[in-house]
Chains A and B, each alone.
Chain A
Amino acid sequence: MSDTPALLAAGTPAPDFELPSTPDQRVSLSSLRGQPVILAFYPADWSPVCGDQMALYNQILPEFRRAGAQLLGISVDGVWCHAAFAQDRKLHFPLLADFEPKGEVARRFGVYREQDGICERALFVIDAAGTIAWRHVSPLGINPGADGILDALDKLAAHPTGERP
Chain B
Amino acid sequence: MSKLTVPVGAHDHVSGPADAPVTLVEYGDYECPYCGEAYPLLKAVQHALGDNLRFVFRNFPLTEMHPHALHAAELAEAAAAEGKFWEAHDMLYENQEALADQDLARYAHALGLPNTAFGEAVSGRYDAKIESDFSSGVRSGVNGTPCLFINGVRYDGPRDYDTLVALLTQLAGES
Contact = CB atoms under 8 A, between A and B. Distances in A.
Looking at chain B's contact residues, is the secondary structure mostly helix, strand, loop, or mixed? loop
Contact of A142 (B65, B142, B143): B143
A146 B144 contact: no
A143 B65 CA distance: 17
Contacts of A89: 64-65
Given A55-B65, A90-B64, A147-B2, A60 B143 contact: no
Contacts of B139: 147, 150
Contact of B141 (A49, A59, A147): A147
Interface string B128-154: 000000010011111110000000001
Nearest to B135: A63
Looking at chain A's contact residues, is the secondary structure mostly helix, strand, loop, or mixed? helix
B65 A63 contact: no
Interface string A88-103: 0110100000000000
Contact of A90 (B65, B143, B154): B65
Contacts of A92: 64
A144 B82 CA distance: 37
A58 interface: yes
Given A142-B156, A145-B2, A56 B63 contact: no
Given A53-B144, A142-B156, A145-B143, A60 B65 contact: no
Interface of A: 49, 52-53, 55-56, 58-60, 63, 89-90, 92, 142-148, 150
15 contacts: A52-B144, A55-B62, A55-B65, A55-B144, A58-B64, A59-B62, A59-B64, A90-B65, A145-B142, A146-B141, A147-B2, A147-B5, A147-B140, A150-B138, A150-B139
| Closest 4 pairs between A and B when the two form their complex, measured CB to CB | A52-B144, A143-B143, A145-B143, A145-B141
